[in-house]
Structure 1
Amino acid sequence: MSIRVLVGVKRVIDYAVKIRVRPDKLGVVTDGVKHSMNPFDEIAVEEAVRLKEKKIAKEVIAVSCGPAQAQETIRTALAMGADRGIHVEVPAKEVEKLEPIHVSKILAKLAEKEGAELVIVGKQAIDDDTNATAQMTAALLDWPQATFASKIEKKNGDLEVVREIDGGLETITVKLPAVVSADLRLNEPRYATLPNIMKAKKKKIAKMKPADLGVDTTPHFEVVDVSDPPARAAGIKVDDVDSLISKLKEVGRI
């Protein structure tokens, strides 16, 4: 039996861009800055498409919350092989206040509405590094979760997932429906080919607002200050091990 997969894709500042703090110190500069799909979400899309190629999934739906430009991120997912997209419109001035709990509620509502049996997201976004959306989505849906997945296989109607943990690898079995978060070593995302990019332009993207799903996006937190990390102090050279030990004792390291 094939399943429907919902994949979350976030538009973030490209990983190669040097981040700059805004003059008001309440965020980072985003205007005129290159954005792309969150790298962990690319891995999530790739895995969903592979599940479809294995006939495990019958449809892959890409979801993104954000301003009009978020549609570019959805189109990237469609070019990689997703079947259709859903754009949950959040104005640019509000998107930086969008919290994981808001996104989790949106994904949970969409999973119910679309009849999805599997939700896959990246383990974290490279802008806020929160690592909370998958866990909260699973809690809201009351579905089992398999986070930090480095391998996914379907066995006897269930998912066998190899997880990356502090001590090494852990293999678990979860029953469907379920929520999975993709880790770095799950796969190598494909490049979208030009024909698929052209086909993606014709694929359907539905538009809606959080309120259409009954989700209130009022922020729970207020940003007080954003600043650059302190400059690292210059190192020193020592002549021998004894001098090194003496210096470490001076600064209280040993």
Structure 2
Amino acid sequence: MKGIPAIALLFFTTIVFSQNKEQDIHLQYGVEKQHRLDLYLPDTINTRTPVLILIHGGAWMMGGNEYTEKHARDLRDKGMVVANVDYRYVSDEVHAADLLNDIDQAIDFVSKQSVTYGYSQTGYHIAGVSAGAHLALMFGYTTSRKIKSITALCAPSRLDTEEMLQFIQKNGLLPNIELLANAKYSGKGKPNIAFTAISPYSQIANIPTLLIHGTDDPLVPYQQSVDLSALLQKNNVDSKLITMAGKGHDVGMNEPDSEKIVLDSIVDWINSHL
């Protein structure tokens, strides 16, 4: 450590917060109403503390950080900083690129908050559930920011096949996907390239990726994660698929035993990619 200025050593010291663990910090990261995030801080923070960007689901057009509030608290209690991020809904004016820009803005904001709270300015992990998992994959694979790992729970990862879009249409979610892609689907035949552009399957990059999916998911077929996992393995991307047998779209997060499996798997994945 010889030769390092004393002030620089402060960045390697541990910061201890006495705040109530039932509290979280509500912050506005941008100008839009939904540009909000909740920052969950563990008792002990230093520059080696993992920072997780958590993205909620809701079919890209409903819900908010309350969907992932419990997950954020549980992961905070396991020793990581968690930024639980809200973002705009898709609409005639807001599409996939805009949601990814929201996430980028949120990460930039979280990075700036590191000066106040003592965690690292860069090198974050990103995770999401359902639509949030889709966005986590898309963001992680396309950003120039340093993302250490991705965790995707029940992720829609391939939205450009006739089979998948007809499945989505049957579930009443085709309008959501059309707004996401800013394109229309005729209902048969191969979709246009706008649907490929919003498919993580077509955007993969060498970012460690953990996929968790229930075999009985009625909203996002388990095969989506099987196919993405195979593609990642084929391209030698550090990746893992955890199959939650018999679980639905919640991947078992609503049952204590399986919730523990999922949370422990996320923590293990992040801690192995610090």
TM range (shorter): 0.3 to 0.5
Radius of gyration: which is bigger?
1
Q: What TM-score results when the alignment is normalised by the length of structure 2?
A: 0.30
Specify which structure has the bigger relative contact order, considering alpha-carbon pairs within 8 angstroms and separated by 6 or more residues.
1
Q: Which has the higher strand share?
A: 1
Q: What TM-score results when the alignment is normalised by the length of structure 1?
A: 0.32
